[in-house]
Amino acid sequence: MQTEAKQQKLLKGKSPLDHDPGEAKKSDQPSQFLCGLCFNDKPVSQMFKEGKCNHPFCTHCISKHVATQMHQNILKVMCPNPNCPVELKPEYFHNILASEVIVRWETVRCESLIVGLEKTYCPFKDCSVLLVNDGEKDVISAECPSCHRLFCARCKVPWHGIMSCEEFQEIERSKDEIVLKN
Whether 5 maps to a domain, the answer reads no
Task: Kindly state whether residues 97 and 150 are assigned to the same domain.
Answer: no
> Can you tell me the distance from the alpha carbon of 50 to that of 78, in angstroms, rounded to the nearest whole number?
11
List the CATH number of the domain containing 107. 3.30.40.10
Burial class (CB in 10 A: 0-12, 13-18, 19+), 11: exposed
pLDDT digits (tens, 9 = 90+) for 79-126: 999 999 999 988 888 888 888 888 888 888 887 777 666 788 899 999
Task: Kindly state whether residues 34 and 96 are assigned to the same domain.
Answer: yes
Task: Kindly state whether residues 138 and 161 are assigned to the same domain.
Answer: yes
Q: What is the pLDDT of residue 7?
A: 39
Task: Kindly state whether residues 49 and 100 are assigned to the same domain.
Answer: yes
Q: What is the pLDDT of residue 122?
A: 92
Task: Kindly state whether residues 32 and 108 are assigned to the same domain.
Answer: yes
Task: Kindly state whether residues 33 and 106 are assigned to the same domain.
Answer: yes
Whether 167 maps to a domain, the answer reads yes
Task: Kindly state whether residues 127 and 162 are assigned to the same domain.
Answer: yes
Indicate the average pLDDT of the chain: 79
Q: What is the pLDDT of residue 90?
A: 86
Helix then strand then coil, % of the chain, to nearest 5: 40, 15, 45
- Full residue range of the structural domain in which residue 132 is found: 116-181
> Can you tell me the distance from the alpha carbon of 89 to that of 179, in angstroms, rounded to the nearest whole number?
45
Q: What is the pLDDT of residue 150?
A: 94
> Can you tell me the distance from the alpha carbon of 182 to that of 176, in angstroms, rounded to the nearest whole number?
10
- The DSSP code for 8 is H
Task: Kindly state whether residues 107 and 129 are assigned to the same domain.
Answer: no
The pLDDT profile of the chain, 182 residues, written as one tens digit per residue, is: 444 444 344 334 433 323 333 333 444 667 999 999 999 999 999 999 877 888 999 999 999 998 888 888 787 889 999 999 999 988 888 888 888 888 888 888 887 777 666 788 899 999 988 888 776 666 788 899 999 999 998 888 999 988 999 999 998 888 777 766 76
Amino acid letter for position 168: F
Q: What is the pLDDT of residue 117?
A: 62
Task: Kindly state whether residues 33 and 98 are assigned to the same domain.
Answer: yes
- The DSSP code for 132 is E
Task: Kindly state whether residues 34 and 104 are assigned to the same domain.
Answer: yes
Whether 123 maps to a domain, the answer reads yes
Task: Kindly state whether residues 143 and 87 are assigned to the same domain.
Answer: no
Task: Kindly state whether residues 85 and 121 are assigned to the same domain.
Answer: no
> Can you tell me the distance from the alpha carbon of 118 to that of 173, in angstroms, rounded to the nearest whole number?
27
> Looking at the 3D structure of the chain, how many domains does it have?
2
